[in-house]
Structure 1
Amino acid sequence: MVVRMRSRARHLLTLPACTCAGLAVWAAFPPIGAWWAAPLGLALLASALRDRGPWAGAGLGLVFGVALFTPMLHFTAVAMGNPVGWVALTAVESLYLAAFGAAWALASRIGHLERPTATALLARMLAFTVIWCGVEELRSSWPWGGFPFGRLAFAMADAPMLPFAAYGGIVGLSALVALVGAGVAEAAHALRRRRAFNALVAAALAGAVVVAPVALPMESSAQDGTLRVGAVQGNVAEEFEDAFNRALEVTGNHAEATLTLAETVGRGTLDVVIWPENAADLDPRDVPASATLVEAAAQAVGAPVLVGAMSYADGVRYNDMVVWTPGVGAGEYYRKHRPVPFAEYIPLREQLRHITEQVDRIGTDLAPGTGPQTLTIHAAAQDRDVTLAMGICFEVAYEDTLRAGVEQGGEVIVIPTNNASFLHSSEAEQQLAQGRIQAVMHGRALVQVSTVGVTAIINPRGVVEQRTQAYTQASLVADVPLRTSITVADRLGAAPGLAAQLGAALLAAAGMVSGVSRLRRRRRRA
């Protein structure tokens, strides 16, 4: 009777435990940024899932996912002005965590994983890590390119494990967090069962995983000189929709900020000036009044200006960053490769219109660009060409997109973004944290330039050297190091992610086979 009551009490506590676990992992991300809360939250989740069946695991994983993504993705409600997208995205992302819960419940019942030995303990920790990373990789890549917000790695910008991003990439850094969480869970379980040696092994391994990456070398010095960059945040009125509807107001703000910058640093002292995504509310390639403002700004600084503009053609639109050279005008451009589904274009528009008319908020779909993931600019103060690895807005969350730019010769990463629609939500700070991880992973300085903030200069070690405040007109000037070497993570490419997905699938399948075999044995005994 006492054992049964304890079992019921444990079952009743699992739902609030999984809720707390999800909230703990959320707290690891900006705006709170308590990185150590992520492994503790995973440890609580792993403990709640212990000895559960696949259906119970799926349910508990779903609860964990809802608790994690509901606060994390609230910025979508801010951008839309209603909760429809927020609820839908939270539900979809949480389903991946339900899949994780089911897969781990299956894998954890593989015969040798259930043994109380230290070897089995290590195997359980690795299995938990592989399944987590496999599901995280799937969530971040499928469907329609996936949605990487909430990857464990993106909470580690201030963690001692950060240097490992240059070696294992996003997947590898997430794996370390998951491994620490699994180790804490195993140590706690071993202590409850009075297996001191097992507890010591798990705790020691978890501690080593946290501390050891500090010793990894991180190269950050310039290898091909430096690039003197001016990053301009022109600012947009908080009634951003009206601001973008008032012709040339946003363009004028950025031109004004650039003129102020020129007065401060002097003409001809900068190699390039970077404006953010959508900085030109009317395309200067098509609208003479917009071109006049951009040309005046470029002439004032005496350097090429990267201008964000929308181009319309054949019933679609494109998100471009255009190189504007003073006296020459528009030249080479980078066209965003990965539009955001349901934010910049609507998949299954006709089918979804039967559910909600919100799909028509996006009247013209954004189409993906083609060509290289780079832009080449002529550094004005140095009189030489420099190649930039490019990503626009949410592309900062996709390591393969930025890797392509680095492999194509990009010596510094540039991320123009427009955060105006997200107001004072956590989106901008989450994006900044993603940029810090990407800087380390690719071994490049990263310049993030926003219409309203956060505009920042990040060095190749992931340290924010300069940043602006939100909703202010400002500019930053920095000599960023140009680097040409390729990190281990970039050499590995997509292999770690594919290996994690394959490993997770094999472990789940092995768990199914083990469960069927166990059921057959029970039937024979009966």
Structure 2
Amino acid sequence: MRRLRAGAPALGALASGLAVWAAFPPVGLWWAAPLGVAGLLVLTAGRGPAVGAGLGAVFGLGLFTPLLHFIAVAMGNSVGWAALVLVESAYLAALGAAWALVRRLGVLTGDHAGKAWARVLAFTVLWCAVEELRSSWPLGGFPFGRLAFAMAQAPVLPVAAYGGSLGLSAVVVVVAACLVEVVGALRRRRPRLVVALAATASALLLAPAALPVPTGAQDGTLRVGAVQGNVATDFEDAFGRALEVTGNHAEATHQLAAEVGTGTLDVVIWPENSADLDPRTHLASAALVDEAAEAVGAPVLVGAVAFEDDVRYNDIVVWSAGTGPGEYYRKHRPVPFAEYVPFRSLVRAVTAQADRIGTDMAAGTGPQTLTVRAATQDREVTVAMGICFEVAYDEVLREGVAQGGQVIVIPTNNASFLSSSEAAQQLAQGQVQAVVHGRAVVQVSTVGITAIISPAGEVLQATRPYTSASLVADVPLRRTTNLADRLGAAPGVLAQAGGAVLVAAGIVEAARRSRGRSRRGSRRADRTEREHQ
């Protein structure tokens, strides 16, 4: 029984992490996120930093182990999955240790109502600081698991238009912290405080649904065809069989042209890696793409990989029938350990998996946009671009919107993730980003999920995974920017600065208490010595 009691906090932390995981797709119980965060807050309160770190790490394992399982699916083994889970869990360990330190500050200790609100604010700042840190550092960070991305179906989603992904996460944490303080106020029989905290949590959960989220077209619409050509389930062999993937997308585009008619679309979008041989350098691939563009009577955005100077680049190319390749967008944020291996010699010393990636992918430069001549309107339209995992980074898409992007296009290749949760998570990220930036999102995958998302984050159309299919939609073109984009990086900077100040104050307080204990111990020793004399 004693061992069970001793292990209860760790089991509680694990269960709390699993609760937060359940808020994400494909489970999608968004309301479980504040409950799980509340569990971590309760379990780490009153603990020492070491115990807080341990409980935070266990919480992280409960959250990230199932959330990031798609890494194991893609790699075919558990090495990368385990490594990424441990790294991401380390951030939650830091959060647990930080809260254990900060919770002891005098301004947060006591039953006064003001102290309760201070605790809510302090924990929210710490959570947001850690979430922002792990989403941006090191090597560009890894934002999967942001609380905001669990809120795609929640009534709080409109907050993203005003505070970005971080602001949306902050609302979830405030609700969780208020729930914890409600329980404490009930125990202390503070009915007025209970009502105030409960009212705040309820308002934050429900009131955002009434926030205005502008969605209307401000510069007309763009008639888009999104083509999902599909890839054989043995995708590695499929990409190895020259022109099979390109042929699939060309065939689906011919089918689309037969259904809607030639010359009725402004642009057709193919996914990332949709050309298994770069049509800019392979004539047979170029012929397939050119024939598809001619059949549909519109430019085609084609995903291709370019090899230059011993590195490769992930490109989306504007291809027009008869004239061939034009402008291209080159992925700015290749994924470390998936598209390139940093510190390769060091990683190779640990695992041979480093050499699974033979040629590193380099980051592109230039605008975060593409300019497309709308075929039925004879005018140029600027689209904000993000390839695959770039959809998870607010700042990447913000840059494209700032450069004039009127709609967001996310070509992606989910083939390596098979039936894991990666595609559903990515769709939810696209929904949140649509609201953050006030733009429609066209997310196009080789195998699914291809989707049209409104600027309010609503999925208007979506394909089934592992099918050949096309979507057609008139997406609104918008010019104005949301408050979230106007604020830019400021909320993240403030959160990290606030977190640093809180941790520094906690360290100072811990040192002060340690000195106090040391002095008291010295005085007791002196008294004991005098008594013996």
2 CA distance for matches of 1:11 and 1:205?
A: 34
Give the structure 1 partner of residue 456 of structure 2.
Answer: 461
> What CA distance in whole angstroms lies between the structure 2 residues aligned with 1:464 and 1:40?
26
List alignment gaps of at least 5 residues for structure 2. Answer: 522-533
CA displacement, residues 299-349 of structure 1 (integer Å, 9 cap, x when unaligned): 000000000000000000000000001111000000000000000000010
| SS of structure 1 residue aligned to 2:350 | coil
* C-alpha separation in 1, matches of 2:99 and 2:321: 58
**1:56 matches 2:51:** yes
Structure 1 residue ranges without an equivalent (≥5): none
1:113 corresponds, among 108, 113, 122, to: 108
The runs of at least 4 aligned residues of structure 1 exceeding 4 Å deviation read: 8-11
Structure 1 contact 243–250 (Cα < 8 Å) conserved: yes
**Residue 514 of structure 1: CA displacement?**
1.3
Say which SS state the counterpart of residue 326 (structure 2) adopts.
Answer: strand
Letter in 1 for 2:8: L
Matched, 1:168 2:163: yes
TM-score of the two chains, using structure 2 as the length reference: 0.96
Residue 410 (structure 1) aligned with residue 405 (structure 2): yes
Residue equivalent to 1:487 = 482
Task: State yes or no: 1:137 paired with 2:147.
Answer: no
1:224 aligns to 2:224 (yes or no): no
Write out per-residue CA displacement over residues 156-201 of structure 1, whole angstroms, 9 at most, x where no aligned residue: 0011110010000011000001111111111122223433333333
- Aligned-partner residue type, residue 422 of structure 2: E
How far apart are the structure 2 equivalents of 1:428 and 1:418? 9
Q: 1:295 aligns with which of 290, 298, 310?
A: 290
Contact kept in structure 2, 1:280 and 1:307, CA below 8 Å: yes
Please state how far the C-alpha of 1:205 moved relative to its aligned partner.
1.6
Of 65, 68, 78, the residue aligned with 1:70 is 65
Alpha-carbon distance in 2 for matches of 1:494, 1:509: 23
**Correspondence 1:383 to 2:367:** no
SS of residue paired to 2:115: helix
Q: Which aligned pairs between 1:11-50 and structure 2 lie closer than 5 A? A: 11-50=6-45
Q: 1:345 aligns with which of 300, 318, 340?
A: 340
> Where does 1:363-374 land on structure 2 (aligned, <5 Å)?
363-374=358-369
Partner SS, residue 339 of structure 2: coil
Query: Separation in 2 of the partners of 1:10 and 1:54?
Result: 20
Instruction: Tell me the SS of whatever aligns to 1:180.
Output: helix
**Structure ID, larger Rg:** 2
CA distance in 2, matches of 1:231, 1:504: 43
Is the 1:118–1:201 contact (alpha carbons within 8 Å) kept by the matching residues of 2? no
Q: Aligned partner of 2:399: which letter?
A: A
What does the per-residue CA deviation read over 1:371-424, in whole Å, with 9 as the maximum and x for residues that have no partner? Answer: 000000100011100000000000000010000000000000000000000000
1:22/1:67 contact within 8 Å kept: yes
Work out the CA distance in 2 between the residues paired with 1:319 and 1:205.
Answer: 46
**1:18 Cα deviation after fit:** 0.4
Structural RMSD (CA): 1.2
Q: How far apart, in 2, do the equivalents of 1:473 and 1:453 lie?
A: 9
Q: What is the alpha-carbon distance in structure 2 between the residues aligned to residue 514 and residue 456 of structure 1?
A: 52
Structure 1 residues 3-402: aligned runs within 5 Å: 11-402=6-397
The reply on whether 1:478 has 2:476 as its aligned counterpart is no
SS at match of 1:89: helix
Report how many residues are paired: 521
2-side partners of 1:395 and 1:347: how far apart? 18
String of CA shifts for 1:192-244, please: whole Å, max 9, x gaps: 34333333332222112112212211100000000000000000000000000
The 8 Å contact of residues 259 and 301 in structure 1, kept in 2 or not, is answered as: yes
Among all aligned residue pairs of Structure 1 and Structure 2, give the percentage whose two residues are the same amino acid.
68
Alignment check: 8 A CA contact 1:167 1:489 kept: yes
1:524 matched to which residue of 2? 519
Q: CA shift at 1:11, angstroms?
A: 4.6
1:450 to 413, 438, 445: 445
8 A Cα contact 1:375 1:390, kept in partner? yes
Aligned-pair distance for 1:517? 1.7
- Residue 429 of structure 1 is matched in structure 2 by 424
| Aligned counterpart, 1:508 | 503
